[in-house]
Amino acid sequence: MRQTWSKALTNPYFVIGSVMIALLLILMAWGMAGPPHDPNFIDMSQSSQPPGPQHWFGTDTLGRDVFSRVLAAAKNAFGTGLLSTVISLFLGCLLGLISGFSRPAADALLTRMMDVMRCIPNLLFAMMLIALFGAGFFNTVAAICFINIPNFYRITRGSVLQIKSREYVTWARLAGIPFWRTVLTHILPNILSPIIVMTSMTMAQAVLTETSLSYLGLGIQPPDPSWGQMLADAQRNILTAPWEALSVGVCISLLVLGFNLLGDGLRDILDVRNV
């Protein structure tokens, strides 16, 4: 454990990514505790004001404080990304374990289903699901979760197929050890590293998908603020009032870059070849 922490603290990708995510988490906590202004308060007398002491990131066309809206939208971005990633992680790993230990026919059926899901572009697949079930926070989470399940399934199934033929797993099964105990003590510890890396990468992808859906009007619905919806609103005045689009764009870039750097760092730290 001490060696792992030493590698983590000396890995630039891990350190920079962690700092970026930590800063955005602080902003999210600030938004949940109470932003400087009401993010939905409309004051047309303050319409399209540039950044200043009263409004740090300026105001939008309706006079709403952009900084407060960025803070409030961070909660939705992190919430959507985290919830969808956790659910897809659980379902994908569960299906991967079942497939890896199933008979060839069941394994082939599950694998073909996941291949079909992976053939459709993520955003298009999410748009199809939203069109069927409607927009909103929980439907957005469900759509993002659904498109990320194959990623965890593929990693888990591949790792299980490699590990289940090893001697210690074979001896555990011959000794009559229950299946669930074999999974917890022999399988999951050996596939934990790639799953952790995939979780970090999936968080970045989930936030991008939520932002894209909200930009198209299919994600989180007003009056709840969303970075994607804020970008769509700011696009109309990008030349005369660029501060709204700039602030939202920087936050999205930092979050996605932070999780990708964190994933790269975790991959290097957990790689057994670097031990």
For the chain, the structural domain boundaries read 58-259
Q: Are 128 and 71 in contact (CB under 8 A)?
A: no
Dihedral of the CA atoms 135, 136, 142, 147 (nearest 10)? Answer: 50
Q: How does DSSP classify residue 186?
A: I
58-259 has CATH 1.10.150.120 classification: no
Place of tokens 């957990």: 270
Local confidence pLDDT in tens for the 275 residues of the chain: 566 667 777 788 888 988 888 888 888 888 777 778 888 888 888 887 888 888 888 888 888 888 888 888 888 888 888 899 999 999 998 898 888 878 888 888 888 888 888 888 888 888 888 888 888 888 889 889 988 999 899 888 888 887 777 777 777 777 777 767 777 777 777 778 888 888 888 988 898 899 988 888 888 888 888 888 888 888 888 888 888 888 888 888 888 898 888 888 888 777 645 54
Output the CA torsion sign for 31, 37, 40, 45: negative
